[in-house]
Chains A and B, each alone.
Chain A
Amino acid sequence: MEKRLIKKDALAGIAKKMADDFLVWTPVKKEDNILFEPLQKGAEPFFAYLNSKNAPKNVFFPHTESMMKYTRTEKGMVFSADENKADESVLFGVRPCDAHSFVLLDKLFDQEKHKDGYYIAKRQKTTVISLACVKPPYASCFCTSVDGEPVSSDGADILLSDIGSGYLAEFITPKGEKLTKYFGDDKADAAADTKKSEVAAKAKAAITSKIPAHEVKPILDKNFDNPFWNTIHGKCLACGTCTYLCPTCHCFDISDEVKGSDGVRIRSWDSCMFPMFTKETSGHNPRPSQKERWRQRTMHKFKYYVDNFNSIACVGCGRCVMYCPVNIDIRKIVEDISKL
């Protein structure tokens, strides 16, 4: 594996140099938020961040994207599919939990049957550069409970780890290796590896929030009707913040927008927290209250995804914990389930 050492203040310069050649997504400061956005000429990336407010899943699965366009003619409508085209791009500086989410989303969007070309095209054209959490950013981080680690190359093509004297850049995949030239010629030695192992172990130990995520699957298998499900949703506002910010939530709506003779079919993020999500034309709703919606969200992450893809659909980023306006805490829900 190719490895390089780079200076601490070199990150922004590397990102900017790459931005001359392709589309580069970096964390940028926008008012009070850190968001991943395409780096514009003259703009500064912001790497001294904890984690971005939104999960960067929008790089592959935008909030809203066009699936096809159509035009009304005298004979009816003429379609033109939006080609599954994507530009060569780099996602620079994502946290390992969010990079882990891409591996999980791949399982859904890139299945053997029914491939989702819109997602796959962007994913294939994008090189993911992870920025390890040598200091876990939040008290609510729990990646180590859901198959993650604060210093991990899971889902990354290049991993950058702060080893004190500078960053160790590891080129994990052939896709990552293609970008070696942007990282200078300072090859990393064995001492850098040792140092990285040290910071990784220290970072891992610093994640103190733990949940029994792997223990609840057999309990969920048997407790669909448990009265416990009455206890979560009482204060839920059905705002959908948890699903909007979640790196692994992938539900979407498909709708049509028309202007004159031209129309576009778009898909937009949707949420299992919304009453309309499953409401049928007849008025029947298989998930009639917030109780069933919370059961769905919990089951989907800790049982259904495990049944279908052998992975828990949670990366422990803690966004839903931090930003829920009524402090519903998925960690407590999982904890409670483990005691059923």
Chain B
Amino acid sequence: MQNPYIPYPVVVNKIITEVDTKDIKTFRFKFVNPEDEGKYSYIPGQFGELSIYGKGESPIGIASSPTQKGYVEFTVQKAGVVTSALHEMEEGTVMGLRGPLGNSWPLEFLAGKNIVIVGGGFAFTTLRSLINYMIYGDNRKRFGKITIIYGARNPGLLLYKDELTEWGKRDDLNLNVTVDKGDATWKGKEGFVPAVCKEVAPSKENAVAVICGPPVMIRFTLPVFFDLGFSKENIITSLEMRMKCGIGKCGRCNVGSKYVCKDGPVFSLAELDKLTPEY
């Protein structure tokens, strides 16, 4: 039996500084023991515990897609003890990775439907995993129209810029990237995510909206989708809470009877309505 508290040793294979402020980086990990990669079989929307010697652990959503073989990626903002230590790391360092943990984006439920992805700021990471999964090879046929609305405060804070460029070239998805305020070189949309959602006005027909972002974005985006006629069953989001064990034992991330770490982090709005508003 795999001890769920013990991390797999991973090597920091590549570090990509995502934003101008340099406080958000993507870390690509390779497993030290190749057989561990098979054990770390994950689904978009799941998370892992990044485990650093002497510092502790931090739960972070998986940013890569399981279709990307040979490595796992996490996009991490420098914030607390563990993530600050992570940001100091150099390529080649060995650290630990636990998981995959939590439920996932409901791929079976999403199959055959039109998918509207709405992301704001740094919360785009597990959405990126989902997008890369859906557009990979034959997977694309399993989903209907894909509409992406992604916003950041300014162009320098957009994540995954190269991928955004690649996605923009595809004719099988509708990509809308917006910034609150552009700069001299910015040629794209300007405006807040809720306004862009209103403008793009995705149809509710056979559609599911997957929404992740800062609370203020969520608060103003949800009414737009309600106005468009989306039901609470068809709006999906992901929660964050302080976590330690990641497997529903240590007792701190529950919202009502549900543990965000093991019963979540992904919930539909209909499911959230049944829980206590304590998150």
Q: State the CA gap A281–B60 with chains docked (Å).
A: 13
**Do A256 and B94 contact each other (CB < 8 Å), given the known contacts A114-B247, A304-B254?**
no
Q: State the CA gap A116–B255 with chains docked (Å).
A: 22
Given the complex, which residues of B lie within 8 Å of A272, measured CB to CB?
Answer: 251-252
- Interface residues of chain B: helix, strand, loop or mixed (majority): loop
**Do A280 and B241 contact each other (CB < 8 Å), given the known contacts A109-B249, A250-B249, A304-B254?**
yes
* CB atoms of B240 and A280 under 8 A apart: yes
Q: Tell me if A308 is interfacial: C-beta within 8 Å of chain B.
A: yes
Given the complex, which residues of A lie within 8 Å of B112, measured CB to CB?
Answer: none
Q: Tell me if A115 is interfacial: C-beta within 8 Å of chain B.
A: yes
* CB atoms of B57 and A117 under 8 A apart: no
Using CB atoms, name the residue of chain A closest to B256. Answer: A304
* CB atoms of A254 and B57 under 8 A apart: yes
* CB atoms of A263 and B54 under 8 A apart: yes
Segment at the interface with B among A67-75, A122-130, A196-204 = A67-75
Q: State the CA gap A76–B262 with chains docked (Å).
A: 30
* CB atoms of A256 and B54 under 8 A apart: yes
* CB atoms of B278 and A286 under 8 A apart: yes
* CB atoms of B94 and A75 under 8 A apart: yes
**Do A117 and B1 contact each other (CB < 8 Å), given the known contacts A254-B244, A286-B279, A304-B254?**
yes
> Considering the complex, which residues of chain B in the window 42-60 have a beta carbon less than 8 Å from any beta carbon of chain A?
53-57
**Do A77 and B244 contact each other (CB < 8 Å), given the known contacts A67-B6, A304-B257?**
no
Q: State the CA gap A256–B255 with chains docked (Å).
A: 27
Question: How far apart are A268's CB and chain B's nearest CB, in angstroms?
Answer: 11
A233-260 vs B, CB cutoff 8 Å, 1 = contact: the mask equals 0000000000000000011111110100
Q: Tell me if A289 is interfacial: C-beta within 8 Å of chain B.
A: no
Q: State the CA gap A281–B240 with chains docked (Å).
A: 11
Given the complex, which residues of A lie within 8 Å of B6, measured CB to CB?
Answer: 67-68, 79, 81
Contact of B3 among A78, A81, A281 (CB under 8 A): A81
* CB atoms of B252 and A251 under 8 A apart: yes
Interchain Cβ contacts under 8 Å between A and B, 11 examples: A68-B5, A77-B96, A116-B4, A252-B251, A267-B250, A270-B250, A277-B242, A278-B253, A279-B242, A281-B242, A304-B254
